[in-house]
Amino acid sequence: MAQDAIALLESDHQRVEGLVRDFKAAGDAAARLHLAQIICMELTLHAMLEEEIFYPAFAQATGDDQLVERARKEHQHLKELIARVPSADNLDGAIEAIWRNALEHIEEERRDIFARARSSGMELATVGGRIQTRRAEVAATVQEA
Ligand SMILES: [Fe+2]
Ligand SMILES: [Fe+2]
């Protein structure tokens, strides 16, 4: 039984929130660097799943391209911040900036996109199934690499 797309995306948001908490609490440099990499990878994958699957399905169900356009721009900005992490002198500051931006975006996503998706009659279970399939495909590719 496929999970509701919004529940899946929200559990990604929460997972990253937990990783950011772990990052802040981690004492040694290697652990922090590892967590920073996982945070960036999780956010990148999450943004990709939304852009490839959820946002187009939302735009189709609601006829609203503008919300999706704004969300894509916010993702773009986040990706620019993520791209700077490998060369960041201040890893704490870099992760903090990413999370501050991500949180703002997540709040908008919740308020504008998810709320509207629920009332639109969008096929959330079907879209959730597609998200799960795509995530598994990407995970398999990453493991092969
Ligand atoms: Fe998003
Ligand atoms: Fe999201």
Distance CA 90, CA 130 (A): 38
Query: At residue 92, what is the residue type?
Result: D
Ligand 1 mean position, distance from CA 73 (Å): 10
Has residue 45 got a pLDDT over 90? yes
Distance CA 83, CA 90 (A): 14
Average pLDDT over residues 111-124: 95
Has residue 6 got a pLDDT over 70? yes
Q: Binning pLDDT at 50, 70 and 90, where does residue 65 land?
A: very high
Q: Which ligand is nearest to the CA of 6?
A: 2
Ligand 2 mean position, distance from CA 105 (Å): 8
Q: Binning pLDDT at 50, 70 and 90, where does residue 139 land?
A: confident
Ligand 1 mean position, distance from CA 145 (Å): 26
Number of CB atoms found within 10 A of residue 100's CB: 11
**Per-residue pLDDT at 120:** 93
Q: Considering the entire predicted model, what is its pTM?
A: 0.94
Evaluate whether 22 touches 145 at the Cβ level (below 8 Å).
no
Ligand 2 mean position, distance from CA 54 (Å): 9
Ligand 2 mean position, distance from CA 26 (Å): 25
Average pLDDT over residues 126-136: 97
**Per-residue pLDDT at 30:** 95
**Per-residue pLDDT at 143:** 77
Across the chain, mean pLDDT equals 95
**Per-residue pLDDT at 145:** 66
